[in-house]
């Protein structure tokens, strides 16, 4: 490699790493990542979206929780790494890489691969699974998530214990037609093991152009692994389903807080069923991976009085941004149950946490995902993305969402046996609660 190439590549790596590590302290333009891999539990959810919020003046909520908010200690702020401090380290880098070029028997990676690997390796040293680098190809997959339409099999997936697990199947898609189930694990795609890949890399192997075929290896609890060929289709995401049940309970299921202004969809569904005089409402947020922060606030505002605090975003220096409801609620009084599970994350947890804190809804199901860290999403010049953790979310009562999740008021597990038998004990328990009050 020529000296000029070395200088260019070194400058590029240093610029990206130094800039990335200093973003939180350097006041770059804000964008919120509402979905990523948590520390605890070890489950990563696929849907990752960004939104640019507007500043909101903190306002006292007249409809306040009874408990006093508990402040959290701000994280100490470290100074940004200096470019001068990295120069000796990169001298060693080039010394080592020169030896590799001279001695390695095999194909050498491209300059781009070297840059991507250097960035990812440096970010790994932070020990934060939320702060990371997505190369241009993987970042493109994530941006496609936000369109509501993509070429794929029609399954929502997450990362559990290092393996890709299906957490939901979209009706009428190839995944449903081929008999894939919620809780199935996808071990391989076209002979490539997905073990050890990031969730974004795994998705890039599963997705592809409509009409193409992907060969998957599937593991289902209690069975031997099996293989299946699936012809991908253009999947159109319809984020909401709803019905007025024969027992008089209104039911709304929302699959994300991204597609087609979901808060407006929820409002329209509720108002349509309101004419039938529902006895109560079940709002199903199970396997909902999150979405736009503003949509979470608007959705919570459908059930809470105006000027109610929904969530507090606290940066590492202790600065707070309090998000409150602005409009009058359309459903302030109807008995309400929220269904949640281990894949209910981020924006879902913001809504659930607020409604639980105010006593406006009863949470039934399983402890939620625990994603309450906020990332700056920075699109780099080649289309890759750098994501840097810079804040945490707290419920109106000051409860931390991150790493712990929200415990339901009534815990009801959902097992593989329930799935195989076509049962939904969580939904059944929600109906029982609304009809009997216990």
Catalytic residue numbers? 346, 357, 371
Residue 231 gets which letter from DSSP?
Answer: E
- β-bridge pairing 249-254 and 240-244: antiparallel
How far does CA 222 lie from the centroid of its chain?
A: 29
Buried b / exposed e across 98-108, counting CB within 10 Å, b at 16+? Answer: eeeeeeeeeee
Q: Which residues, at least 6 apart from 15, have a Cβ–Cβ distance to it below 8 Å?
A: none
Query: What residues are paired with 33 via a beta bridge?
Result: 50, 375
Residue 290 gets which letter from DSSP?
Answer: -
Distance CA 273, CA 243 (A): 8
Residue 322, classed as helix, strand or coil, is strand
Distance CA 405, CA 83 (A): 38
Q: Is 260 left (phi over 0), alpha (psi -120 to 50) or beta?
A: left
Residue 188, classed as helix, strand or coil, is strand
Q: Which residues, at least 6 apart from 43, have a Cβ–Cβ distance to it below 8 Å?
A: 37, 158, 159, 160, 161, 165, 342, 343, 369
Reduced 3-state DSSP string for 241-275? EEEECCCCEEEEEECCECCCCHHHHHHHHHHHHHC
Distance CA 68, CA 78 (A): 30
Contact 400, 392 (CB under 8 A): yes
Contact 197, 157 (CB under 8 A): no
Query: What residues are paired with 365 via a beta bridge?
Result: 340, 411
């Amino acid at each position: 490699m020529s000296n000029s190439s070395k200088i260019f590549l070194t400058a590029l790596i240093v610029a990206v790493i130094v800039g990335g590590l200093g973003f939180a302290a350097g006041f770059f333009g804000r964008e919120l990542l509402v979905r990523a891999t948590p520390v605890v539990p070890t489950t990563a959810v696929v849907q990752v979206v960004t939104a640019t919020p507007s500043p909101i003046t903190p306002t006292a909520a007249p409809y306040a929780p009874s408990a006093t908010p508990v402040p959290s200690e701000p994280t100490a702020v470290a100074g940004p790494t200096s470019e001068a401090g990295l120069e000796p380290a990169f001298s060693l880098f080039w010394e080592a890489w020169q030896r590799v070029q001279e001695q390695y028997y095999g194909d050498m990676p491209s300059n781009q691969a070297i840059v991507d690997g250097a960035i990812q390796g440096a970010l790994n040293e932070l020990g934060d699974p939320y702060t990371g680098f997505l190369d241009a190809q993987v970042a493109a997959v994530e941006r496609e998530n936000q369109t509501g339409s993509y070429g794929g099999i029609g399954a929502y997936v997450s990362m559990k214990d290092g393996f890709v697990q299906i957490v939901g199947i979209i009706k009428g898609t190839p995944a449903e037609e081929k008999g894939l189930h919620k809780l199935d694990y996808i071990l391989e795609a076209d002979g490539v093991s997905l073990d050890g890949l990031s969730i974004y890399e795994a998705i890039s192997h599963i997705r592809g152009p409509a009409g193409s075929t992907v060969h998957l290896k599937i593991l289902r609890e209690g069975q031997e692994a099996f293989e299946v060929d699936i012809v991908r289709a253009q999947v159109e995401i319809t984020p909401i389903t709803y019905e007025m049940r024969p027992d008089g309970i209104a039911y709304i299921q929302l699959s994300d807080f991204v597609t087609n202004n979901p808060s407006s969809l929820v409002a329209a569904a509720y108002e349509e069923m309101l004419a039938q005089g529902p006895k109560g409402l079940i709002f199903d947020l199970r396997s909902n991976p999150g979405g736009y922060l503003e949509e979470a606030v608007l959705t919570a505002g459908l059930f809470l009085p105006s000027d109610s605090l929904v969530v507090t975003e606290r940066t590492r220096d202790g600065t707070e941004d309090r998000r409150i409801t602005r409009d009058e609620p359309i459903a302030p009084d109807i008995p309400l149950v929220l269904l949640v599970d281990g894949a209910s994350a981020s924006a879902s947890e913001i809504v659930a946490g607020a409604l639980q804190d105010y006593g406006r809804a009863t949470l039934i199901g399983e402890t939620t995902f625990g994603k309450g860290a906020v990332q700056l999403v920075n699109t780099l010049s080649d289309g890759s993305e750098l994501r840097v953790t810079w804040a945490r979310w707290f419920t109106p009562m000051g409860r931390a969402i991150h790493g712990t999740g929200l415990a339901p008021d009534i815990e009801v597990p959902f097992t593989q046996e329930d799935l195989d038998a076509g049962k939904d004990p969580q939904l059944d328990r929600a109906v029982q609660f609304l009809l009997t009050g216990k």
